[in-house]
Amino acid sequence: MDKQEKIQYWLDISDYDMETARAMLSSKRYLYVVFMCQQAIEKIIKALYIDQYDKEPPRSHNLAFIFKKIEISIPDDTLKFFNILSAHYIENRYPEYKEKLSSSLNNHKAEEYLSKTEESYKWIKSLLK
């Protein structure tokens, strides 16, 4: 794959993850709304990384870590939000935390995460060359 094909690959699956997050909200699967938000942002950041450096992005799920590698200024509130999403991804991998995380999420919180993800997604997409 050339650079543009790699970028498009990450954008396509990121778009798919955004659609999945919306579907999970409709079905009231709030933990998976947040998980898919994390996945969508991770993948669009990786598209941006390839766009900037024309090489494979870091193999990490930590959104702030990957974004900082790009060396583009990031607002503090966005960085904090990326850390929240990353924490949900990491903890989501372990079944003993699933019930605890699920109980901390509700429709309002899931909508809030999805809205912030959509804002961040648009911002990151605007940074692509």
Q: What is the CATH number of the domain that holds 30?
A: 1.20.120.330
In whole angstroms, what is the distance from residue 111 CA to residue 97 CA? 21
Cα-Cα end-to-end distance for the chain: 18
Q: Are 66 and 49 in contact (CB under 8 A)?
A: yes
Domain that holds residue 119: 3-126
pLDDT at 88: 78
Task: State mean pLDDT over 3-9.
Answer: 97
What is the share, in percent, of the chain residues with pLDDT greater than 90? 82
In whole angstroms, what is the distance from residue 92 CA to residue 105 CA? 13
pLDDT in tens, 72-94: 999 999 999 999 999 877 555 56
| Number of structural domains found in the chain | 1
Q: Are 47 and 11 in contact (CB under 8 A)?
A: yes
pLDDT in tens, 25-49: 999 999 899 999 999 999 999 999 9
Q: Which amino acid makes up residue 49?
A: Y
